[in-house]
Structure 1
Amino acid sequence: MDSFDGAAFWAGVGWVALAIVVLLLITFGASRVAGRHNVIDTTWGLLFVGAAVVSFFASSGHGDGLRRWLLLALPAVWGLRLAIHVGRRSLGKGEDPRYEKLLDKAKGNRQLYALRMIYSLQGLLGLLIAAPIVVGAFEPRPVRVLAWIGVVVWAVGVFFEAVGDQQMERFRANPGNKGKVIDEGLWRYTRHPNYFGDACVWWGIFLVAADALPGVATVFSPIIMTLLLTVGSGARLLERSMSTRTGWDEYAARTSMFFPLPPRAKRALADS
């Protein structure tokens, strides 16, 4: 098949949306058992695993085989790693202050408000961001060079995210570092290596889809993710809470906010 099958694609979108709804309803049930809504943070990565699995099977006989496998493997590896990491990190902890603050605005039933403002919104956002996965899976044209560039960008992203998370865990495990700012490993070059890695992952997945039409039209997906990570609920909120820590001002002054760069002090010394 040489042309994009629109009817099959929209049927696939429906199945992906259903999978996301089911995952979120299961998560909501789990939140009532756990007594906290931040369990959805663990499900966030799993939403894209579900989207990738459903898209893979729904696109059978419609999309290029190799691209379908890439768009199954890349989101699945990233999403499962993220879910495991977030799940382990949240064990034994209470509710996230972000969700407590949000639920304080509820005028009626807090759980219905949570379904609408936490679960529904994240579900819609997940469906939008998953667009390269779903669209790309139905593209019939063979994989070309741009897709392999996307795989490399994705791999860089997974490296920064996974290594950055591991370095942060090791730093936090040392009681002597309590109240301090991490300034080692990847964190010397960017204040948010995990967020930078997350953005690279989604630009990489987009490039796999953008290797053929109409995948290029899904560019809004990595743009949305990058904005969320930099000016949305990611770096901006985290830096607000980190600004009270010892050494933060000096660290922020010499370290790139997002894109990895050599520390500014070293560049100044080299120029002098």
Structure 2
Amino acid sequence: MTDFIAALPTVATPVDCASFSKTVAPYFHQLSLSHLLPLLRGEIAPKEWYLATNPAITAILFALFISLVVFVSAEINRNFSQVDRLWSILPAVYTGHFALWSHLHGIESERVDTLAMLVALWSARLTFNYWRKGGYQIGAEDYRWEVLRERIPAGIVWTIFDLGFVALFQNLVLVGITMPAYVLMLTSRLPDATAGNDFIDTIFSRGLVIVLLIETLADQQQWAFQQAKKSYKETGKVPEKFLKEDLDRGFVVSGLWSFCRHPNFLCEQTIWFGIYQWACFRTDTMFNWSGLGAVAYWGIFQASTNFTESISAGKYPEYREYQALVNKFVPGLKALKGRDDEKPVKKE
């Protein structure tokens, strides 16, 4: 049987909790097959193995397993939206895992519990949006994948892209954005763990809830507009509270969407950077390794937004004007040139 060592590092200061070399690197050996074999052979009970494995490593192992499942499923079904279906669920699973692990070990986990509840609310909102758009229907696939497959050669090139980016990278990002929960869990083991809770923890938890509510409002405004546009196309009648010229334009420019072109994406990135900054404040650091997931998340959203906008510019004649007048993410900031001038993708 594998010689299991203590599943958590010894930390003496807040800065120790943010040290990758002290809190994660010593447990890399648990990613090996030799650590998994006792569990797979039934030589150790699942609960015992779970409690003896560093929680960050357990989350990474699960992400690697999901990556394999997603890749195989996509290659068999030729539907590459598998990660999209899991996008709203997995972060809640990971933060819930950190909270559960803390409770099973008897660790004071108020911060992690609060974060897990917040991410559960985020998950519920995103899952509901995906469901009402029909994303969970059998055979449903995001229209952007159709356009992307036209740009990337089929065969081995697409298979490598599917494995490397669609399955592996995105799943590692989803576990990466929840790693601040691991850091916050470690801070709960410090002697003065409760010091400052009333101020810092309250500010971050309440602030993130406010951002989540704003994101929910932005999503609802977009949904209401799209439903009104659909009704207008089917009946020729302009629904109440909407203008014909707005529906003819084809995309929403009112409400929060008049301040920036993607208020929901702005809030989405703010939430995960906010969670990372929470971990920074609790560890007295300006930067730490748990922000890698948030940075990668930001990169995915930048690329996805540019790609989506290139499609929108090809569909709607007035979208270029909207890009020139309203900033992509920052309310009140003049629209910037650059990627906005990318050649639009025509989409019927």
Task: Identify the TM-score tier after normalising by the shorter chain.
Answer: 0.7 to 0.9
Specify the alignment match of 1:259 in structure 2: 330
Question: Structure 2 length normalisation: TM-score?
Answer: 0.64
Specify the alignment match of 1:267 in structure 2: none
Specify the alignment match of 2:178 in structure 1: 130
Specify the alignment match of 2:283 in structure 1: 213
What is the distance in 2 between the residues matched to 1:130 and 1:75? 9
What is the distance in 2 between the residues matched to 1:144 and 1:105? 55
Asked if 1 retains the 8 angstrom alpha-carbon contact of 2:180 and 2:276, the reply is: yes
Specify which of 126, 147, 154 is matched with residue 82 of structure 1: 126
Letter in 2 for 1:21: L
SS of aligned partner of 1:209: helix
Task: Give unmatched runs, 5+ long, in structure 2.
Answer: 1-9, 28-53, 233-246, 336-348
Specify the alignment match of 1:239 in structure 2: 309
What is the distance in 1 between the residues matched to 2:216 and 2:201? 22
What is the distance in 2 between the residues matched to 1:54 and 1:23? 15
Specify which of 40, 50, 63 is matched with residue 83 of structure 2: 40
Q: Does residue 97 of the first structure (1) align with residue 150 of the second (2)?
A: no
What is the distance in 2 between the residues matched to 1:77 and 1:23? 22
SS of aligned partner of 1:257: coil
SS of aligned partner of 1:258: coil
Task: Give unmatched runs, 5+ long, in structure 1.
Answer: 265-272
Q: Could you say which structure has the higher helix fraction?
A: 1
- The structure with the largest alpha-carbon Rg is 2
Asked if 2 retains the 8 angstrom alpha-carbon contact of 1:52 and 1:72, the reply is: yes
Specify the alignment match of 2:224 in structure 1: 170
Asked if 2 retains the 8 angstrom alpha-carbon contact of 1:20 and 1:51, the reply is: no
Specify the alignment match of 1:120 in structure 2: 168
Specify the alignment match of 2:59 in structure 1: 16
Q: Does residue 159 of the first structure (1) align with residue 207 of the second (2)?
A: no
Letter in 2 for 1:49: A
Q: CA deviation at 1:161?
A: 2.2
Any residues of structure 2 matched to 1:24-63 within 5 Å, and which?
24-28=67-71, 31=74, 35-60=78-103, 61=105
CA distance 1:203–1:25, shift in 2 (3 Å): same
Q: Does residue 66 of the first structure (1) align with residue 121 of the second (2)?
A: no
Letter in 1 for 2:276: F
What is the distance in 2 between the residues matched to 1:155 and 1:109? 39
Specify the alignment match of 2:297 in structure 1: 225
Q: Please provide the CA RMSD for this pair.
A: 3.3
Identity %: 18
Question: Structure 1 length normalisation: TM-score?
Answer: 0.79
SS of aligned partner of 1:190: coil
Asked if 2 retains the 8 angstrom alpha-carbon contact of 1:55 and 1:134, the reply is: yes
Counting matched residue pairs gives 261
What is the distance in 2 between the residues matched to 1:50 and 1:193? 26
